Amino acid sequence: MPCLNEAATVADCVKQARDALAKYAISGEVIVADNGSTDGSRELAAAAGARVVPVPLRGYGSALLTGIASARGEYVVMGDADGSYDFMAIETFVTKLREGYDLVMGNRFKGGIAEGAMPFLHRYLGNPVLSFLGRLFSSSVASSSAARSAISTPGSAASAAPRSSRSTCVRRAWSSLRR
C-alpha cells in the first residue's frame, strides 16, 4: 500500500487486508510503503500489523516500486491506503495468479465508480485504452471486478525466472523514475 498522510484510513486498510489473508488462508504480509507521512500514518500502519517501509524518493510510483522491491511473497497485490479499495476481494486476484496469470488488473467500471472519484479523461480514455492494450498484447493478463492490481513475482510458481529478476526490474524502473 503506497501511503502519504493517510492517518484517517491506513489502519482500517491494513486490518482489512490482514483479515482477508486470514479468511482465505493466504500466507502473506501487508506492506505500507510510506512516502514521508507527517500525520502518524507510519505508526498507525505498524500498530495495525503492517510492515512499514520508508520510501526515499517522493511520488506514487516510487512508493509502489519500493513496496514491490520489499515484498517477500510469491505474489504482490497493490491497493491504496485511502480506503477506496475492498481488500476482502484479494482472493479474486490470488486465484487468477495461481491459475498462471502474470498480471491481474482491477476494473473500476465493473465495481462502480462514485461520482467525481475519477477525472473524465482517466475514466473514459486512459483506463479503457490501457486495459485494451493489456488484453491486446498479453494472454497472461486477467481482469477482476475490484479496482487494484496484482502481479506474480519472477520467483513465483507462475514464472520460471529467478526471484532476483524482480529486483533487477524494479531497479531499472527506479532508475528511469529518477531521470
156-176: pLDDT as tens digits: 444 433 334 444 444 444 444
C-alpha cell at 109: 467500471
Contact between residue 103 and residue 149 where contact means Cβ atoms under 8 Å apart: yes
CB 103 within 8 A of CB 143: no
The predicted pLDDT at position 110 comes to: 62
Q: Is 146 within 8 Å of 100 (Cβ atoms)?
A: no
pLDDT for 154 equals 55
Q: Which has the minimum average pLDDT: 18-22, 69-73, 152-156? A: 152-156
Tell me: pLDDT of 10 over 80. Answer: yes
148 pLDDT exceeds 50? yes
Who's near 159: CB < 8 A, 6+ residues apart?
102, 152, 153
Cell numbers describing residue 90? 484479494
| C-alpha to C-alpha distance for 118 and 21, rounded to whole angstroms | 28
Residue 146 has pLDDT above 90, yes or no: no
pLDDT tens for 117-142 read: 566 665 566 656 666 666 665 544 44
Question: Which three cell numbers, joined as nine digits, stand for 148?
Answer: 487494484
Give the DSSP letter of residue 59. Answer: S
Report angle CA 138, 139, 141 to the nearest 5 degrees: 75
97 vs 118, more confident: 97
Give yes or no for a contact between 4 and 34, defined as CB atoms under 8 angstroms apart. Answer: yes
- The listed CATH number (3.90.550.10, 1.10.443.10, 1.10.1530.10, 3.40.830.10) that belongs to domain 2-178: 3.90.550.10
Q: Using CA atoms, how far apart are residues 154 and 83, in angstroms rounded to an integer?
A: 29
pTM of the predicted structure, to 2 decimals = 0.70
Lowest mean pLDDT among 51-55, 76-80, 108-112, 170-174: 170-174
d(CA 144, CA 104): 7
What value does the mean pLDDT take over residues 7-14? 96
**Alpha carbons 77 and 87: distance in angstroms, whole number:** 9
Nearest alpha carbon to residue 83 among 151, 150, 16, 4: 16
